[in-house]
Amino acid sequence: MSVLQIMSNFVGVFMTSKRMNPTIPYSIRVGGKLMDLGTPKVMGILNVTPDSFYAESRKQSDAEIGRRVEEIIAEGGDIIDVGAYSSRSGAADVPAQEEMERLSHALRIIHEVAPGAVVSIDTFRASVARRCVEDYGAHIINDISGGEMDGDMFPTVASLQVPYILMHMQGTPQTMQSHPDYQDVVIEVMRSLGERVSLLHEMGVCDIILDPGFGFGKTLQHNYQLLSQLSLLHELHLPLLVGVSRKSMIYNLLGCTPQEALGGTTVVHTIALLQGAHILRVHDVKAAVEAVRIVQQTVHSNRTNPTTR
């Protein structure tokens, strides 16, 4: 299947249906200021791991990290998401101390290169999240496990009062793709996220961002079912993050490699934006920023100049 075939399967539907929605204008508190999500934001990925699935995203030396930070900012990224634990399927476990060492190294460089940057920490460990926020000034916690892999995460987020990205995952990074199973993946993801949101609200956490977890405990078919009905997640009344950049749901479908999956990624980003996604988590910041700009113009034009029938 080609990129054009993916686009033809989806875009005609969105351009003529109620699913082509302007982004709901949520805002979150980041570092004492409000970040307006009415215009979708782009989150640039900074992987300080030796084994992330997309080889070109791996940055470990001071020079590599610094250049990546500069690139994200120069290309229009709004948030830098730093990860030190590879969550690809079957990845080896990384001890908490090693994860923290990698993150502290990267955070020091970020503060030197881009002291005003908004920084998100990609970790499922509460102790690591707390140190990154309290000792290194990180602004957002991005938890792939939605609090399932560390029982202290929700109380920690409530204590820190920082925005929290709540992601859905079936299983763990080591087991998630062994046998993903759902009766209805969209309903089950919504139900799971809704239950976790209720717990967070009870603890006083207000700034929550939802991530349906594309590729995390889901087959290719599950991923595209989620994508086709992504707008249903707005029923949970929270901003929505989409992380699909160069993932297997794209390169396996297209019969290519992660290195060749930028075109497919941009198509999927476009589909997500047309359904009101608020944040795109990406490897390729410039392409995502351009997609946001084009989709925003299209939605705005559709809203102000509706076709007369």
pLDDT of residue 288 exceeding 80, the answer is yes
Q: Please state the rounded mean pLDDT for residues 56-71.
A: 82
Q: Which of 246, 281, 286, 293 is catalytic?
A: 281
Residue keyed to tokens 């502290």: 104
Contact 234, 241 (CB under 8 A): no
Q: Which of 29, 196, 247, 293 is catalytic?
A: 247
CATH of 3-303, one of 3.90.180.10, 3.50.50.60, 3.20.20.20, 3.40.50.720: 3.20.20.20
pLDDT of residue 279 exceeding 70, the answer is yes
As given in the structure block, the two tokens for residue 206 are 């207000």
Q: What does the pLDDT read at residue 28?
A: 96
Q: What is the pLDDT of residues 175-191, one digit of tens each?
A: 556 677 889 999 999 99
For residue 300, name the pLDDT band (cuts at 50, 70, 90): confident
pLDDT of residue 210 exceeding 80, the answer is yes
Report the b/e string of 191-213 with b at 16+ CB within 10 A: ebbeebbeebeeeebebbbbbbb
pLDDT of residue 287 exceeding 90, the answer is yes
Higher pLDDT, 233 or 180: 233
Question: How far apart are the C-alpha atoms of 200 and 147, rounded to whole Å?
Answer: 10
Question: Among candidates 130, 122, 136, which has minimal Cα distance to 57?
Answer: 122
**Any idea what the Cα angle at residue 91 is, between residues 247 and 269, rounded to 5°?**
15
Q: What is the pLDDT of residues 76-86, one digit of tens each?
A: 999 999 998 87
- Report pTM: 0.89
Q: What is the pLDDT of residues 7-56, one digit of tens each?
A: 555 555 454 444 556 678 899 999 999 999 999 999 999 999 876 655 56
Higher pLDDT, 43 or 298: 43
Give the strand pairing for 79-83 and 119-122: parallel
Q: What does the pLDDT read at residue 50?
A: 73
Q: What is the pLDDT of residues 111-153, one digit of tens each?
A: 999 999 999 999 999 999 999 999 999 999 999 999 999 999 9
For residue 170, name the pLDDT band (cuts at 50, 70, 90): confident
Tell me what percent of the residues of the chain surpass a pLDDT of 90. Answer: 73
pLDDT of residue 198 exceeding 80, the answer is yes
pLDDT of residue 157 exceeding 80, the answer is yes
Contact 238, 210 (CB under 8 A): yes
Q: Quick check: is 247 catalytic?
A: yes
Q: Quick check: is 19 catalytic?
A: no
Mean predicted lDDT score pLDDT of the chain: 88
Q: Please state the rounded mean pLDDT for residues 254-274.
A: 96
